[in-house]
Amino acid sequence: MTVTTSATLPVTLSHHFADDLPELALDWQAEEAPDPRLLVLNQPLALELGLDPEWLRTDDGVRFLVGNLLPEGARPVAQAYAGHQFGGYSPRLGDGRALLLGELTDPAGRLHDLHLKGSGRTPFARGGDGRAVVGPMLREYVVSEAMHALGIPTTRALAVVATGRTVQRETAMPGAVLARVAASHLRVGSFQYARALAQEGPADLLPRLVEHATTRHHPQAADADHPALALFEAVVAAQADLVAQWMLVGFVHGVMNTDNVTISGQTIDYGPCAFLEAFDPATTFSSIDEGGRYAYGNQPQIAEWDLARLAEALLPLLHDDEAAAITMATTALRGFAPRYAAAWDAGWRAKLGLVGDDPAHAAVVDDFLTILQTETPDLTSFLVRLADGTARDHVLDVAAFDAWHTRWQALGPDLGLMARTNPVRIPRNHLVEEALAAATDGDLGRLAPLLAAVTAPYGQAQGLDRFALPAPASAGSYVTYCGT
């Protein structure tokens, strides 16, 4: 018996997802971690969730964090979903190495999924070993917490626990489990799966999924004349806003498959993601993205493509007549581009310190973007330098920069607004790699300073200068790997 339950744990897990959508929930348990050791605990998040960090650090708490000790009544499940991966459809993906332990209710009464990654094979594992290793799980921890600190909707990381098991990758690596917290794990692929299943099985599955998703994430859609259409419109808006925020900080998700696009509008699944250094729209970091499908500059169009797959899954609920349903879906999806453009424009105006509604702003933003594209500076530090007056030292075409700079200065940019909207410290690839390589070798000493830096992204900070600098040229180009 690997999993024990106890009536006395200071935590309660509900199972609304498994109750409402049993067709998408397969009862399953985490495999035993032979020697679980807490590597990092997110104390502020634990407190926000109403969990006791001291208890989470105990042996029982750590066994809870790997799914080996559960409160009585918990019902862990592997979730079923489908997905388009790099454009190709897989009808059955699902949690191959993950589990939804259940839902936590925070002190304000909000529900959060508590989910494990690396908790062992499930019936969805196909050829995979069901496991995860220390480096990539710490990477998700660091990058998702950085995103949260940047104010970008994201799943959060509660803890990473080393399992004490050796996992075979290219070499033997220490195994780990990430405990992740999300508004939910409903994704476009959940709807694709439900649509396919409903064709042969329960006719009410798709409406039930819509109702569950609406209640949890977009409750205003329930009161609309057409709730399924309103849900779709709400997801389109949430994703347009989300991807605009990624683009404004140079975040490249790297694997925007439909199973990695949430209904909540949170960023999910930190695999081959990374932040831009040089501002080049063609940037990809993922070793397997040879065609550049998920390159930085493609992300808005790809999000729209993924949302079209959600629309297809929802068609039977939009209208009995398929042609009419397609028209409704297409019209709603057309809302993506203007919503995205508005968020992107507003974001750039703030990053350039432009306040108020001056018709001159649009051209100054556009011309700044042209400078970024021709000069390809390190995005993050260039914006900091723009505010402190040293950007000019980092351009080749000084005359063009000066001409633009004069027009920009004439608009009276608000430096305080710039300081609040342009991060100084992001997870720099070389520094993340350095900290994770050390952690994989058992040295956690570089993790805490990295986390301190990226969870305080704005403003100058004593002792954190190296986290504000671009990679030295010697660092070479950066490659990330999926599914690790």
Q: What residues are annotated to the active site?
A: 259
Site for ligand AMP (CB under 6 A): how many residues?
19
98 or 237: CB nearest ligand AMP: 98
Residue count (the chain):
484
The residue type at 113? D
269 or 433: CB nearest Mg ion: 269
Site string for Mg ion, 267-306 (x = CB under 5 A): --x-------------------------------------
Contacted by 128, from Mg ion, ligand AMP, none: CB < 5 to 8 Å by type: ligand AMP
Contacted by 205, from ligand AMP, Mg ion, none: CB < 5 to 8 Å by type: none
Token pair of 82 as six digits? 């489908």
The answer to whether 284 and 302 are in contact (CB under 8 A) is no
Distance from C-alpha of 181 to C-alpha of 389, rounded to nearest angstrom: 40
CA distances from 285 to 86, 268, 439, 450 (A): 15, 17, 22, 21
The answer to whether 97 and 125 are in contact (CB under 8 A) is yes
Task: Give residues 89-118 in contact with ligand AMP (rule: CB under 6 A).
Answer: 93-98
Query: Pick from 15, 115, 131, 187: which binds ligand AMP (CB under 6 A)?
Result: 131
Contacted by 300, from Mg ion, ligand AMP, none: CB < 5 to 8 Å by type: none
The owner of tokens 């997801």 is 235
Q: CB nearest Mg ion: which residue?
A: 269
Site string for ligand AMP, 230-259 (x = CB under 6 A): -------------------------x---x
140 or 269: CB nearest Mg ion: 269
Name the minimum Å distance from CB 260 to Mg ion.
5
Contacted by 271, from ligand AMP, Mg ion, none: CB < 5 to 8 Å by type: ligand AMP
Name the minimum Å distance from CB 360 to ligand AMP.
44
305-332: b (≥16 Cβ within 10 Å) or e: bbbbbbbbbbbbbbbeeeeebeebbeeb
The owner of tokens 């949690």 is 95
Secondary structure E strands in 248-299:
251-252, 274-275
90 or 105: CB nearest ligand AMP: 90
433 makes contact with Mg ion (CB under 5 A): no
269 makes contact with ligand AMP (CB under 6 A): yes
* C-alpha 234, offset from chain centre: 18
Stretch that binds ligand AMP, among 27-35, 108-116, 124-132, 445-453 (CB under 6 A): 124-132
128 makes contact with ligand AMP (CB under 6 A): yes
155 or 260: CB nearest Mg ion: 260
257 or 380: CB nearest ligand AMP: 257
Number of Cβ within a 10 Å radius of residue 103: 21
The owner of tokens 């649009």 is 362
Pairing of strands 83-85, 111-117: unpaired
CA distances from 427 to 248, 325, 414 (A): 15, 43, 26
125 makes contact with ligand AMP (CB under 6 A): yes
165 makes contact with ligand AMP (CB under 6 A): no
* C-alpha 362, offset from chain centre: 30
113 makes contact with Mg ion (CB under 5 A): no
Query: Pick from 60, 106, 129, 434: which binds ligand AMP (CB under 6 A)?
Result: 129
CB-side neighbour CA atoms (13 Å) of 75 = 13
149 makes contact with ligand AMP (CB under 6 A): no
Beta bridge partners of 89: 84
Query: Pick from 68, 79, 155, 260: which binds Mg ion (CB under 5 A)?
Result: 260
Query: Pick from 250, 271, 353, 377: which binds ligand AMP (CB under 6 A)?
Result: 271
The answer to whether 147 and 260 are in contact (CB under 8 A) is no
Token pair of 438 as six digits? 């050390």
The answer to whether 289 and 315 are in contact (CB under 8 A) is no
Site for Mg ion (CB under 5 A): how many residues?
2
Q: Which helix (H) or strand (E) holds 408?
A: helix 398-410
For helices 361-375 and 379-388, give the axis angle rounded to 10 degrees. 130
Name the minimum Å distance from CB 297 to ligand AMP.
22
Stretch that binds ligand AMP, among 128-136, 383-391, 399-407, 426-434 (CB under 6 A): 128-136
Distance from C-alpha of 32 to C-alpha of 345, rounded to nearest angstrom: 50
Contacted by 98, from Mg ion, ligand AMP, none: CB < 5 to 8 Å by type: ligand AMP
Name the minimum Å distance from CB 28 to ligand AMP.
12
270 or 382: CB nearest Mg ion: 270
Token pair of 264 as six digits? 């909540």
Q: Which residues bind ligand AMP (CB under 6 A)?
A: 93-98, 124-125, 128-131, 255, 259-260, 269, 271, 482-483
Q: Which residues bind Mg ion (CB under 5 A)?
A: 260, 269
